[in-house]
Chains A and B, each alone.
Chain A
Amino acid sequence: MPLSNVMVVDDEPDIRLLVSMALKKLGGLTVRAEASGASALEALSGGYRPDIILLDVMMPGLDGMQTLAAIRKLPDHQDTPVCFFTAKVMPDELERWQRLGVSRILSKPFSPATLVAQIKEAWESCQKT
């Protein structure tokens, strides 16, 4: 089954717009964008099941880490691949994230084409395992 459904969580409307547009236009994917960790959790617990989730790390309210922890507590989403979106990667954080089951770290700024390729790659590697 190919990748088709992606959830994007970012507090920046422009980023949400661009990521959604890139994934739709370049990847032919269906995208649901949420502005905060809380609304994402609400959607997920409401029965929405994306193939992969893109989480911005630095968000007001629930940040990427907290949101991820909450997602993993949802029974349906313990294995859903999650990618982190960040402008700044600290080496110690990287390790922690990987331990928590972050499939991939996507850095800002990104090129739309690269982003689509990276997301597909991440999803595929998750499928293999």
Chain B
Amino acid sequence: MKGSLGRTLECLSHLREQLFGTWYPVTLTVIGLLSLSLSAGLALHMRSQEQRAWDKSVEQALVQHGKHIQDSLTGIEDELRAAGHVMGHAPQLNQSYFDAIASDKLKYYFGIAWVDLRHAAQPIEKGCITIGPGTHYVVRFQVNQRGAHNLVGVDLSCDHVRAAAMTAALRTGQIQSAGLVNLYQGNMPGLIAALPIWHANAPEQPAGVLLAALEFETIIDRLRGELINSSRYDLQIVDASQPGAPRLYPLQAPAQGMPFLKTDLTFAGRRLQLQLRPGLEKLRERDSYLPVAIFGVGLTVTLLLLLLLHSQVISRKRAEILSIVRSDDLVDRENRLAALFNHATIGIIRCDNKGRILQANRAAANMLSCPETALLGQEIPSLFDPRSEARLRNHRQDRIPYVSELQLNSMNGELIPVTVQILPLRSPSGEPYSWMLLEDLRDVRHAERMKMQFISTVSHELRTPLTVIRSSVELLSLETLSEDAKILLQATESNVDRLQHLINNLLDMEQLQIGALSLTQKTHDIRPVLLNVLELVEPLMAQKHLKTRFELPKNPVIAHVDDERLLQVLVNLLSNAIKFSPPAATISLSAKAENDYTRLVIEDQGPGIPEGFRSRLFQPFAQADGDDNRRWGGSGLGLYISNNLVKRMGGRITLDSEPGQGACFNVLLPADEAVSAATVLE
């Protein structure tokens, strides 16, 4: 699973390399910037589109709104004029007639009143309306429920008449205050409409005035819910026919920006204007999050790309460094291995599973007296002498580590003894191969020969003086001597014997090791040898007061042996038994025929052979411990020589010993020549 993911990533990376190559970081940067600018552009475009759509909808709403307000105003004016016309032709123009007409007109008005001017010489107060004298009329309007007095003059006939009336009224003090006649004043959001009524019976002067207080609030409130949510903007109505266009609605408006949309209204011949100014929440509420979201996405994509670029650059850099480090490391390791391989003093050969040489070092080539390249492709077994070759061919099948001493067949015809070590291995792909290590044994063999030569020479050179000493002592002992001189001579003789024994052993060992020891074996009764042995060791036994248990078999004991060497073996074994027996102990010797062999058993009552020493028992110069060596003397060659002599004769020596219970050596001798020959061959 992990592997397949890894491979996929590898493929992607490869594809990327193919597509972009080294321009990859640049490409990534360009894509990032493009995505950022695209998203920003798109966001701005959407933002302006939205703004335009919104503006359009607001404009439409305003126009519609204006149309509705205008309709209301036109309706009011028409109604007032209609009412004025009716009152102008009324049969009895009075308050009750007005009441009958106006009763159903109240829905748009704050108030509606009839001021009869035919009988009023003084300013009058009627209801909530105060009216001045003359043809001019100034109205004091008491707003119901709100309690504030507002002076509002409304002239629905013409402006200059109204202005003169106002001035006159102020001069006479008939009115409390005056100014330009506004449709609106004070804190009442509305306007007063006044319509002079000329009655058909007295057309020379107005009979009175019909007053109506309009409330914008009522008109706009009714529309607001339907058209525009006023929290988005400020809707204002101003008197456009007045300088400075004073605001009529609303009374208290927050100081906002300039009007961005206007629509004209007319009421009773006066120009009003409906204006829209930006409100506090206008943009905020209408704002869509989509452009922001798009820009955010673009920004995110850019950031991600930059992040990716960064990580790519970092990882590429790291990979470069790692690859440099790795390749350095590999080269270093390769060099070290190559140096080891080329300069090793042992021969090293690598071969495939069919035993063909893939690689060989200088040492291996030197052993085979040919250049390294000449070895490549050759079969391993063919490098060896026929016997070794056969052994190697047998081995190759089981492919387990292998160590053996074989002989290389060098190109110059020389046979080279080598230790061969084969290490079977597998390559990472599972292909079997092996390393073969060749250790040249020529120097070892040479050293062994030198050692033997040394032993031989030394032994020979020792023998001559020893002969002289020995003979002299023997001849001297024939003379008449003092007791002291005799004792000294005995000591000299026994030490000469010991020295001679050692030298004989060394020479025997040499002969055995070089295979030069000759035996004269015959098949015969060995009972005389046994008797002879006992005779020879008798003096030693006597010294330690040891007893012998030996029954001479009645029947001949037949063995195929060299008498002298058998004697040597038995003397050796018995000497050991004597050496290690406690005083007055018993040593037993027995002989019996067993199938193809004759078994001689020598048993003592000494300390036995320690467990740890048994494996080394028959090795040259072996002693159980140094202490014994000093206590008992001896070179440690006796058992080695005895064992080898018996082996050469076709027999064997085995040990049967429990520590503390004495040692028991079994000497198995071949019963006849055939057995001997068969055993030696084995």
Contact = CB atoms under 8 A, between A and B. Distances in A.
A112 B516 contact: no
B464 interface: yes
Contact of A15 (B467, B500, B507): B467
A22 B470 CA distance: 12
A91 interface: yes
Contacts of A94: 518
Interface residues of B, number: 20
B471 A110 contact: yes
A91 B562 CA distance: 14
B460 A18 contact: no
A26 B477 CA distance: 12
B328 to A, nearest CB: 65
B472 interface: yes
Interface in B456-480: 456, 459-460, 463-468, 470-472, 474-475, 478
Given A109-B500, A110-B471, A88 B456 contact: yes
Contacts of B468: 12, 14-15, 18
B463 A111 contact: no
> Which of A26, A88, A90 gathers most chain B CB within 10 Å?
A88
The 9 closest A-B pairs by CB, nearest first: A91-B518, A109-B467, A87-B463, A18-B471, A14-B468, A108-B467, A109-B466, A112-B474, A87-B460
Interface string A1-25: 0000000000010110011011001
Contacts of A18: 467-468, 471-472, 475
20 contacts: A12-B468, A14-B465, A14-B468, A15-B464, A15-B467, A18-B467, A18-B472, A19-B471, A21-B475, A22-B471, A22-B474, A25-B478, A87-B463, A88-B460, A88-B507, A91-B518, A110-B467, A111-B470, A111-B471, A113-B474
A112 B471 contact: yes
Nearest to A91: B518
B470 A87 contact: no
Contacts of B475: 18, 21-22, 25, 112
A20 B219 CA distance: 174
A88 B464 CA distance: 11
Contacts of B518: 91, 94
A109 B470 contact: yes
Given A15-B468, A87-B460, 13 more contacts: A19-B471, A22-B474, A25-B475, A25-B478, A26-B478, A87-B459, A88-B456, A108-B464, A109-B463, A109-B467, A109-B471, A110-B467, A110-B471
A66 to B, nearest CB: 19
A90 B514 CA distance: 11
Nearest to B466: A109
A116 to B, nearest CB: 11
Interface in A51-66: none
Nearest to A114: B474
A14 B517 CA distance: 29
Contacts of B474: 22, 111-113
A12 to B, nearest CB: 6
A12 B456 contact: no
Nearest to B499: A109
Contacts of A26: 478
Interface string A86-129: 01101100100000000000001111110100000000000000
A12 B466 CA distance: 13
Contact of B464 (A12, A22, A91, A113): A12
Contacts of A14: 465, 468
Nearest to A111: B474
B476 to A, nearest CB: 10
A94 B466 CA distance: 23
Nearest to B471: A18
A90 B516 contact: yes
Contacts of A25: 475, 478
